[in-house]
Amino acid sequence: MNIKIIGVGKLKEKYLAQGIAEYAKRLSKFVNFSIVEVPDEKAPEQLSAAEMQQVKAKEGERILAKIKDREYVFALAILGNERSSEELASEIDHLATYGHSDITFVIGGSLGLSNEVLKRADTQISFGKFTLPHQLMRLILAEQVYRAYMINAGSPYHK
C-alpha cells in the first residue's frame, strides 16, 4: 500500500517538518508513505480573478504531473465532504480491500486547487470551513492518516 501527500510549496517550518517526520515513521509500519512537494507559483499579494486562475492552473499542472493514472486521489477542498476519523479509516480500508493500493492526497497552495486537479480527483475531502495554512494541513493530514491506520488496527490510539 502506498500513501502519498502532494503539497504545493516548500515546507519551511522546522516544527511542522519534525511532526510530519514522526507520523511518517509511525506510518512506515503499515504503508509506504511519502510527501511530494511541487513548487508554488510566485505571485503578488493583489491578484485579479484571472491571475488567480493562472496561478492555480500552473500549480495544478505541477500537481497533475505527480499523479499516476492508477492512483486514487483525495483533493482537500473546503467544499469537499467532511468525514469523521472513523469514516476516513473505513474508506482507506475499503480502497485497499478493493484494489486501490495507491492513494494520493492533494493539498493546494494558498489559492486552492485548479479545476483540472479537482476534476482528476476521485473524491474531495474537507477538514471543515476553517482556513488553515496549507503547510499545517500536511501535518494534520499525516496525523489523520496515521489515526486511520490505528483505528483499522483496533489500537487504543483513537480515543
> For residue 25, which phi and psi values (nearest 5 degrees)?
-65, -45
Order across the sheet with 32-38: list the strands: 32-38, 2-8, 102-107, 72-82, 123-126
> Is position 76 annotated in a ligand binding site?
yes
Candidates 44, 43, 49, 25; CA nearest to 35 is 25
Task: Please give the Cα distance from 85 to 67 (Å, whole number).
Answer: 25
Where helices occur in the chain by DSSP H, the ranges are 14-27, 49-64, 85-97, 115-120, 134-152
Asked if 104 and 74 count as a contact pair (C-beta separation under 8 A), the reply is yes
For residue 63, how many C-alpha atoms fall within 13 Å in the half-sphere facing its CB?
34
> Is position 99 annotated in a ligand binding site?
no
Asked if 74 and 50 count as a contact pair (C-beta separation under 8 A), the reply is no
Binding residues for S-adenosyl-L-methionine: 76, 108
Binding residues: 76, 108
